[in-house]
Amino acid sequence: METPLVTLYGPVADDLVLVEDLLESTKRVDIPMLKRMLDHALEARGKRLRPALVLLAGTFGDYDLNRLVPLGAAIELLHTASLVHDDVVDGATSRRGRPTANQLFDNALTVLLGDYMFANAAEMVTRTGSLHVTRLFALTLMKMTSGELDQDAAAFDVGKDIQHYLWRIGGKTASLFANATEGGASLAGCRPEWVEALRSYGYNLGMAFQIVDDVLDFVGDEAVLGKPVGSDLREGNLTLPALLLLERYPKNNPIAKFFSARRKREQYLQEAIRMVRESEVIDLSRDMARDYVARACEAIGGLPDTPAKRSLLDIARYVLERNS
């Protein structure tokens, strides 16, 4: 049975309520339509993994919640805003079993909602009082946007390789995890080698997190995921399992057929999903995720043995066992 993630947050679990309070404050606006949209976008609270990483990293120095909480809330708001925009770009109608904002409101309004949330997140970061952390946040947003742009530009292109995929998820996903741990450590005034160790932990954890996400897109439970199996492939997004299948079985590959076909596309899609699930590529993808988790744990090996460090190690193991 999957371990509830919140139980792994250990010494910072109670302090996450302050992040929730700050996120709730973003809903206090005078425009009724904007309030309805913010209520919807922030209603699904998620795992709050990224804010927890900010706080956990902050325990290795001066644990100042007045600075750490705004960064945690800003990173969570940035993550949520990026999902709002992703759903518009993808034309998604549901996420985690709930209708998307663009399904309930029109696309133009939903894009503006995402813009508002990005701006709100940027304002929160300035409350940390750190120009360095504010710059890190801006650079992370640039990396995330570059990764998303690259993914959309490469849709239905079987010419991309695994190294390109790893670069893409490094920007799209891992950069925000790294921002959480590096930013938290920087705000706490940790020694430089600890800041780097925690940055490396966050980056490698984020890489593993995205790879597991991409595996679950093929083998997960639709009821738990809140989306159909094979959604990434249907949208032309080549993730690690699909790339491995193309690499290992280049002849008569159903993925290549699906991307190029004008007829029988659904048949080729289902063949591709079945072949991914029944081949060795799922195990190979999980092996790569395990390698990244091992790197994350190794990165913080020199940190003091504290409850926060043990939580970080537990979270790394959780990333591999999760089913949603």
Give the sign of the dihedral formed by CA 143, CA 146, CA 148, CA 151.
Answer: negative
306-323 mean pLDDT? 95
pLDDT-based confidence at 2, cuts 50/70/90?
Answer: low
156-183 mean pLDDT? 95
pLDDT at 93: 67
pLDDT at 94: 65
pLDDT at 323: 82
209-232 mean pLDDT? 88
Query: If you average pLDDT over every residue of the chain, what do you get?
Result: 92
| Residue 154 predicted with pLDDT over 90 | no
pLDDT at 278: 95
Q: For 72-105, what is each residue's pLDDT tens digit?
A: 999 999 999 998 888 777 766 666 667 777 887 8
Paired with 95 in beta bridges are 98
pLDDT-based confidence at 162, cuts 50/70/90?
Answer: very high
pTM: 0.94
35-56 mean pLDDT? 90
Q: For 234-269, what is each residue's pLDDT tens digit?
A: 999 999 999 999 999 999 899 999 998 888 889 999
Q: How many domains does the chain have?
A: 1
Choice between 63 and 263, residue whose per-residue pLDDT is larger? 63
Residue ranges making up the domain that contains 258: 5-321
pLDDT at 118: 94
Which CATH number belongs to the domain containing residue 112 in this structure? 1.10.600.10
270-294 mean pLDDT? 97
